[in-house]
Every structure is written in structure tokens, then in C-alpha cells.
Amino acid sequence: GQQLNQSPQSMFIQEGEDVSMNCTSSSIFNTWLWYKQDPGEGPVLLIALYKAGELTSNGRLTAQFGITRKDSFLNISASIPSDVGIYFCAGQLREQGAQKLVFGQGTRLTINP
């Protein structure tokens, strides 16, 4: 089946630093989604990308849909303590008449105050 390679697996940064993470795949997706998950909670949608080349911002978060439709990145600027958590990318494709998501393994973000 389809696989997403998300990197890095974990990040340890100082408060105020910028963060960058990305996902790549051998498959083409028609939508890219970025989620954040806090411990013991469900993922929360951060940004959705619908067109190849699209660059979208949500506050301090910026994400891009790669031109090839096989990759996406997420940047967080000026990190703050509440940014701590696990970030997941997800590629959406149409399979057997249904929209299905394929998830990356997640990037665990830890911030040192």
C-alpha cells in the first residue's frame, strides 16, 4: 500500500526557534493535511492543502503542497511551549470510490524553555 515518509521523527529545540518538517511519498495525493496530536487526545487539523504548489498559512504555521504532488512540508515559526506535541502529515487519495487518508509516522516536537 501507499506509504508516507515523515521526517524528522523527533525534534528538540529551544523556545523561539523555527521548526521545519516534511513528508514524501512515491504516490501522488490530491490533498495534503497536517494534524497536531497532544498526548492522549485525537489529532486536530492544522492546515489543508488542495492544489499542487499551494502555500498556506495559519498563524505561525506555513505548509506547502509539493509541485509533484508527492510531498509536503510544514514550518512553525517562533515556537512556543504549546507547540509541543506530535505532528502528522496525511495524504488523501481516492480509492475504491472513497477518500482515504495515508498517515506519516509523526514528528514529535519537544521544546526546551
Interacting residues toward another protein by CB under 8 A: 1, 4, 6, 30-31, 33, 35, 40-45, 48, 50, 88, 90, 96-101, 103-106
Q: Which is nearer to another protein, 48 or 52 (CB)?
A: 48
Q: Which is nearer to another protein, 73 or 88 (CB)?
A: 88
CB of 111 to another protein, least distance (A): 20
Give the Å distances, CA to CA, from 102 to 36, 38, 94, 95, 110: 15, 20, 11, 11, 24
B/e letters for 68-97, b = 16+ CB within 10 Å, e = fewer, are ebbbbbbebeebeeebebbbbbbbbbeeee
Q: Which is nearer to another protein, 13 or 93 (CB)?
A: 93
Say how far apart CA 93 and CA 2 lie, in whole Å. 10
> 85 or 104, CB closer to another protein?
104
Least Å distance, CB 16 to another protein, is 28
**Closest distance of CB 102 from another protein, Å:** 8
